[in-house]
Amino acid sequence: MSVHSSSRRPARRRRRRRIGGPWVVAVVALVVAFAVGLALGDALDDNPSPGRTQTAVRTLKPLAVPPAAETVTVTVSR
């Protein structure tokens, strides 16, 4: 029997614990999307607003059309 095999303990491997899981990635993605949305909203709101729109409604009355002074008839023969 060998001295090394009986006195030596099997090496334990330490499992590294992950800091998060898929839910942490989803939460981080939601926070990033929210921040991008806020930044985009602020950027769109920074544009100067155009002047106020003014609408005028006017009704036009038709003018009287005088009768034609002469009548011209054109005849084409083939």
Looking at every residue in the chain, the average pLDDT score rounds to 81
4: pLDDT confidence band, cut at 50, 70 and 90?
low
Its pTM stands at: 0.38
Calpha distance 45→41 (Å, rounded): 6
Calpha distance 75→77 (Å, rounded): 7
Higher confidence at residue 72 or residue 13?
72
Calpha distance 57→67 (Å, rounded): 31
32: pLDDT confidence band, cut at 50, 70 and 90?
very high
